Amino acid sequence: MKIIRLPAKLAAYALRLKRNQQSIGLVPTMGALHDGHLSLICSARKENDFVCVSIFINPKQFSAREDFKKYPRPLSKDLELCRKAGVDIVFLPEAEDIYPEGFGSFVDLPAISSLLCGKTRPGHFRGVATIVLKLFNITRADNAYFGQKDAQQAVVISRMISDLNLPVKLRVMPIVRCNDGLALSSRNVYLNKQQRQDAVVLYQALCLARCLIDHGLVDTQRLLLRMRQLIAKHQTAKIDYITAVDLNSLKPIKRISQGCLIALAVKFGKTRLIDNIVI
């Protein structure tokens, strides 16, 4: 397994791979790897000749009041997991190499970036889209692997690929969950014992929604009310949003239909967690 830190060095290496007709699968991460990341790496390993995992905590997607400095950084563990998973290249850049002095170019998709999580995290998806485009260009990836848990992120990246005619295939993989249903997240480590117990209600609320839909409830407001009532029973939970939207535009819908996204964001203490299902 190679560890490459400089963007130019990785770009040159990727170009040699492409000249040799080798396919490249990219798994972008911010580190603190868990089984969700490993499932992406496993899919990339099956579908590509070379697998590149980027580990970069992107400062451009954090606001001033978010947890950039506290974000977990277990680098030694991450590298060992990558090695065991059969990763070929770990891209481990410094912020000054990704955003050198004078950097001023950004990718912005305001129509979808300002919705859902974008309402309370202004600038977040501009930072996400910008770093992902840079990673696509540096690695010359054929396939890029993202998790369904970050549904809005996947929609933003899909739109960017389409709008900019990027030669990358987006692979959105299923959510990986703990045995009790909580979606795996690097931020789960912030939860105390009570918050961790309460956080299971996110998946319970989504399961309730699916059950109600299966029994014929299609009115969005009634459905979301039932979900809110369930989550409100837990004192440590503070709802940011619960919504049902069109999966492509992310605009709210009045009636549940096949292919729509039901998504939520809830804070437990200071830890904000997201989850979703596609109907």
Instruction: Determine the pLDDT at residue 66.
Output: 77
* Residues involved in catalysis: 37
What pTM did the predictor assign? Answer: 0.96
DSSP the chain: -EEE--HHHHHHHHHHHHHTT--EEEEEE-S---HHHHHHHHHHHHH-SEEEEEE---GGG--TTS-TTTS---HHHHHHHHHHTT-SEEE---HHHHS-TT-------HHHHTSTHHHHSTTHHHHHHHHHHHHHHHHT-SEEEEETTSHHHHHHHHHHHHHTT-S-EEEEEPPPB-TTSPBP-GGGGG--HHHHHHTTHHHHHHHHHHHHHHTT--BHHHHHHHHHHHHTTSTTEEEEEEEEE-TTT--B-SB--TT-EEEEEEEETTEEEEEEEE-
Percentage of the chain exceeding pLDDT 70: 100
Dihedral sign from CA coordinates of 69, 70, 76, 79: negative
Instruction: Determine the pLDDT at residue 34.
Output: 97
Burial 249-263 (b: 16+ CB within 10 A, else e): ebeebeebeeebbbb
Q: What gap in Å lies between CA 267 and CA 236, rounded to an integer?
A: 8
pLDDT, one tens digit per residue, over 5-39 is 999 999 999 999 999 999 999 999 999 999 999 99
Nearest to 273 by CA among 201, 194, 171: 201
Domains present along the chain, CATH in parentheses: 2-173 (3.40.50.620), 186-273 (3.30.1300.10)
Q: What gap in Å lies between CA 249 and CA 196, rounded to an integer?
A: 32
Instruction: Determine the pLDDT at residue 64.
Output: 73
pLDDT, one tens digit per residue, over 135-144 is 999 999 999 9
pLDDT mean values, one per 10 residues, the chain (279 residues)? 98 97 98 97 98 97 83 96 98 98 97 95 96 98 98 98 98 98 96 98 98 97 98 96 97 96 97 97
Residue 220 in tokens: 């969005």
The count of other CB atoms within 10 Å of the CB of residue 190 is 19
